[in-house]
Structure 1
Amino acid sequence: MIIGVPKEIKNNENRVALTPAGVAEMKKNGHEVYVQTAAGEGSGFSDQEYIAYGAQILGTIEEVYAVAEMIMKVKEPIASEYNLIRKDQLVFTYFHFASSEPLTHAMIKSEAICLAYETVEKADRSLPLLIPMSEVAGRMSIQEGAKYLEKPLKGRGILLGGVPGVPPAKVLVLGGGIVGTQAAKMAAGLGAQVTIMDVSLPRLRQLSEIMPANVMTIISNSYNIQNAIKEADLIIGAVLIPGAKAPNLITREMLKDMRPGTVLVDVAVDQGGCIETCEPTTHENPTFIIDDIVHYCVANMPGAVPYTSTLALTNATLPYAVQLANKGWKKACAENAELKKGLNIANGKIVYKEVAEAWNLPFDEELVLEPNF
């Protein structure tokens, strides 16, 4: 198969979907790899390294899309890429269709095969290609939140861990999944007073057993959230419903109950966000203020630490990419239920229910259920 790796063009996105080591693996399996020039530079990989392991370098993104049977990316295609994607071309990347109606319609129109990292799912319902970036984003949410609590950045002017004689900041984490767990660990390690909320009592029991003493678990409901936000200095939105929009747990009206300078970090923003007032921002302009509340809503947080993020991501994606290249998407998805769950749009039809529901579009259930498509 011919693999194409374009340079990411989303604002300040420095990750790359395939490392030189990944090129070597693809070559070992008999595939051709074309990499756009400078695609790996942001993550610390030069064109020369790719060439050394067997990749061919192309000068433009148009050339990469034109030659490739499978496109490997990190972030969803943006508008300038829509017309480069063609019928029957396999695109393997994060899509987050439920947060972008224009992208959904563009990929339906392209009749390409859209296999989304974020909905590849194991039998235990874990999301192996989302977990590495969730770990990075969870840890980063505290790092960024602590920074924006500083007064020159319009925060409350509070040190996350406090000092002897002065109480630490209060951190509220909404969601006890991978992002929430990593955020809580980081905040607790810095000495903050941490509260994790989740709708699952079994999950809260697990967290209670593994977290340090300065982490408290509370069941998530509107009453408890309403009370907790009044005291929180830093609030982390860490809610995920696979393939679907995140629910709004904090509304615009609730901002008035927070103290001026409170910082909101909505890690779920690439799935629509769990804070009503959050809109996607970039690393270039990461924050905005509404009602004296600082909103940090960068949709590609791990892109700021691309060396770590690229290695963590490609460690997880490469085995699946090799399967797709070796067998083609139809056979690979027929034989691997995890990959099959990653299919979101195929040949102009939505085959992932939550994406169809997000935009009230037809869902092609027959294609999803057919075992040998």
Structure 2
Amino acid sequence: MNNFIDHVKINVTSGKGGAGSAHLRREKYVDKGGPDGGDGGRGGHIIVRADPNKWTLFHLRFTRHLKAEKGGNGGKQRSTGKDGKDVVIEVPLGTVVNDEHGNFLGEITDIGDEFVVLEGGRGGLGNWHFKTATKQTPRYAQPGEPAKQMDIVFELKILADVGLVGFPNAGKSTLLSVITAAKPKIGDYEFTTLTPNLGIVDYRGFGSFVMADIPGIIEGASDGKGLGIRFLRHIERNAALLFIIPADSEDHKKEYDILLNELEQYNKELLDKDRVLAISKSDMLDEELKALIQKQLPTDLPTVFISSVAQTGLSELKDILWEKLNQEV
């Protein structure tokens, strides 16, 4: 079973507010006691909260409806009803919450983040609020506000410093497995990677950064071809993009241009991110072939020839990425 779930829709209902009380004080030897009806409690909220121990929305996969508790009714002696119990939905960092029409409601990006996505109804006022000089014993109180209901959509966008961008079978998973402790599935065929994989890259013993292997893009991905745009959203949160093109590509420049175009078609803002180009599987190249390929490559971004199998060029690649991630804005 695929445990990576990055898109979930849930119908949520907040709690109805409790009714205010219309109670009149009744005591021995007091013929006409005044109003002492208390306020109703508020209905429960629907709250979204960060859970740094989660990295997928899998735990919400089979959740269709969530309903908060209604507020308690007010009582005598100005006793306020109990507030309804909130429903807390815990989600991983990087989760964006929208309504069913795509309107932004909030996002979770840091530990400790939380927000109320749907408020519970306010409790009604008890009758003692309505006492006046001319109306000493009001016999009415407010009802609680009704519950609110809506569909909310959770969309996870992986939080990583560097996102790997490349065609299927470009060597992204192999690179991730070599320079991090991640163990992605690796095979010599397209779409080996069906879910994003994260790994932490140690840098020279004093620093680290997070790298994400995004499932391979193909030409037309922004239009839904191949795995479609399902995983392009994860690139949006990467600080830098590492383009991986294999040494045995028929046209390195064309492959880079196709990848760049797919990102632009999906979201033009992706082109504003720092970019690095790595030619993978370069252990099959001699210096003459490297020089020939270098002439074909774009000159507006740093390029490095790497081999994950032979573990060459990886230190240089880490240096370039570290510099990109820590350069002064």
Q: Which has the higher strand share?
A: 2
TM-score, normalised by the number of residues in structure 2: 0.28
Between structure 1 and structure 2, the one with the greater Rg is: 2
The structure with the largest helix share of the pair is 1
